[in-house]
Amino acid sequence: MESTTTILVADDEATSRLLLKSILEGEGYSVIEAVDGQDALEKIELSKPDIAVLDLLMPKLDGLNVCKELRKKFDIIELPIVMVTAANETDSLIKCLSQGANDFISKPVNKDILLARLNNIVMALQSRLALIEAHKEAARRQRMETVGQFAAGVAHNFNNVLGVIMGNAELLIEDLHKARMSAESAAMILDSSRKAAILTESLLTFTGTHGHKNCKDPLKAAESLLPLAKAFSGTRVTYELTCTERPGSVVISSSDLVSVLLQLVRNGIEAIADSGSVQIEIKTVEIENQKQVRFRVSDTGTGMPEHLIEHAFEPFYSSKNVGVRGGISFDGSGLGLSLAYNLVSSAGGYIRVVRSGKNGTVIEFVVPCAESDS
């Protein structure tokens, strides 16, 4: 039994409440007491317990209405609810279950039955936490894989850039030995050095710190990923970035924003068999009286099968095969869009497939503007 599991017990009868508390604390649970339904709602909001045990009949707000209110904020996994009811309240019990109660126990409370049902709930909670951690770990690995693949592309471009720099530097040295300057060689060195600097800045943006709350310049962040994308795909894919009005700060870190865009761009690259294009559109919009920024990524690839669209953001779900397309290796792990979904959701936004078919796929995500820009 996890000693850190916290259970709220709501019952207006002090004797019943203290009995439940004694049983639960004897098994290592932490207990919060509530004297009625309203008190239960307030303490759940304040203390965030793991499980709620509610008496059906309470003053001010009965167990049925407490359950109904809680289900507006928490699903059956986020906050399991166990109803305590008299044996003859069958109709009310059915109503409670229909309102989202996970389980019930009849009065007088049987200690063994209560603990067995709570233990089942705790085991389910632990399984869910383990699944969440596994998903986070898979997402971390996916991110590192993406960093590795794009870094490999950048390294390849660096070799090309450095080759130009070194070659022209050697020519320049020969010219200097002949007491004359080669403006053309110097210009090529400068141009290649600038390209190398752009690649470096882009990679630093992508691998930057993830704890920073706001991206102050979303357009700059989007621009920084283009050299990475080009380094990754080569010349077979062209890119276009459009933004009618420069957006303000958004509630997502620059590196997370670049990571989301990179996953969507990568998805587009993978869908393009030979040659094609990827477009990124950035636009400030107002949704439900809140200023937000919409990012829309479209490609000219083969598109997703219609029956797979609803699964697009599920972890480990992929219609792509492991292999090589356009000279690029893909693992088909099915984690890229799931990682994007998690990052956008964590920022309070949403992501969706707008359309997908033989003419390509369009995916958009929306994140809120920072309060200072709202």
- pLDDT tens for each residue of 243-275: 989 999 999 988 889 889 988 998 888 888 788
Strands, sheet with 6-10, edge to edge from the N-terminal-most edge strand? 30-34, 6-10, 51-55, 81-86, 103-107
pLDDT on residue 135: 72
Tokens describing residue 12: 């207006």
Task: Give the C-alpha separation, 355 to 57, whole Å.
Answer: 50
Average pLDDT over residues 238-242: 94
d(CA 337, CA 141): 14
| Residue range 103-116, pLDDT digits in tens | 988 888 899 999 99
Predicted local distance difference test score (pLDDT) of residue 2: 46
Residue 297, pLDDT score: 96
Side chain identity at 249, as an amino acid letter? S
Sign of CA dihedral 67, 72, 73, 79: positive
Kindly list the distances between the CA atom of residue 22 and the CA atoms of 78, 111, 115, in Å, as whole numbers in the listed order: 25, 10, 12
DSSP string, 46-105: HH--SEEEEESS-SSS-HHHHHHHHTTT--TTTS-EEEEEETT-HHHHHHHHHTT--EEE
The helix/strand/coil state of 305 is coil
Main-chain phi, psi angles of 186, to 5 degrees:
-65, -40
Question: What percent of the chain is helix, strand and coil (3-state, nearest 5)?
Answer: 50, 20, 30
Q: Is pLDDT at 342 greater than 60 in this prediction? A: yes
Q: Return d(Cα 43, Cα 37) in angstroms, integer.
A: 10
How far is it, in rounded angstroms, from Cα 300 to Cα 160?
Answer: 28
Q: Residue 235's pLDDT is what?
A: 76
Please report the pLDDT score of residue 266 as a whole number.
85
Determine if the peptide bond prior to 108 is cis (ω within 30°): yes
User: Treating both helix axes as pointing N-terminal to C-terminal, what angle do 218-233 and 111-177 enclose, rounded to 10 degrees?
Assistant: 70
pLDDT in tens, 3-33: 478 999 999 999 999 999 999 999 999 999 9
Average pLDDT of the chain to the nearest whole number? 80
Q: Which residue has the tokens 């997370």?
A: 256
Average pLDDT over residues 153-168: 65
In this prediction, residue 40 carries a pLDDT of: 94
Torsion of CA 350, 355, 357, 361, to 10 degrees: -50
Helix, strand or coil for residue 35? coil
Q: 327 pLDDT exceeds 50?
A: no
Q: Which whole number is the average pLDDT over 290-319?
A: 81
pLDDT of 180 above 60: no
Coil vs helix vs strand at 241: strand
CA distances from 265 to 104, 236, 277 (A): 49, 14, 10
- The mean pLDDT value for 142-158 works out to 60
Helix (H, G, I), strand (E, B) or coil at 115: helix
**Banded model confidence at residue 60, pLDDT cuts 50, 70, 90:** confident
Structure tokens at 38: 């309203």
Share of the chain above pLDDT 90, in %: 35
Return d(Cα 330, Cα 321) in angstroms, integer: 8
Higher pLDDT, 3 or 336: 336
Residue scoring higher pLDDT (258 or 181): 258
Is the pLDDT at 55 greater than 50, yes or no? yes
Q: How far is CA 248 from the centre of its chain?
A: 22
- Which residues, in sequence order, are bridge partners of residue 215? 250
Q: Per this entry, what is the length of the chain? A: 374
Q: Is the pLDDT of residue 139 over 90?
A: no
pLDDT at residue number 322: 40
- Confidence category of residue 209, pLDDT binned at 50, 70, 90: very low
Q: Coil, strand or helix: which one is 177?
A: helix
For residues 328-336, average pLDDT = 46
Q: Return the pLDDT at 49.
A: 94
What's the mean pLDDT in 281-291? Answer: 91
The domains of the chain, with CATH numbers, are 6-109 (3.40.50.2300), 134-373 (3.30.565.10)
Position 174 scores a pLDDT of: 66
Which pLDDT band holds residue 323 (cuts at 50, 70, 90)?
A: very low
Cβ-in-10-Å burial (0-12, 13-18, 19+) of 56 comes to buried
Residue 333 has pLDDT above 50, yes or no: no
Nearest Cα neighbor of 333 from 138, 149, 140, 152 is 138
Q: Which long-range contacts (CB under 8 A, 24 or more apart) does 348-351 make?
A: 348/251, 349/252, 349/292, 351/260, 351/313
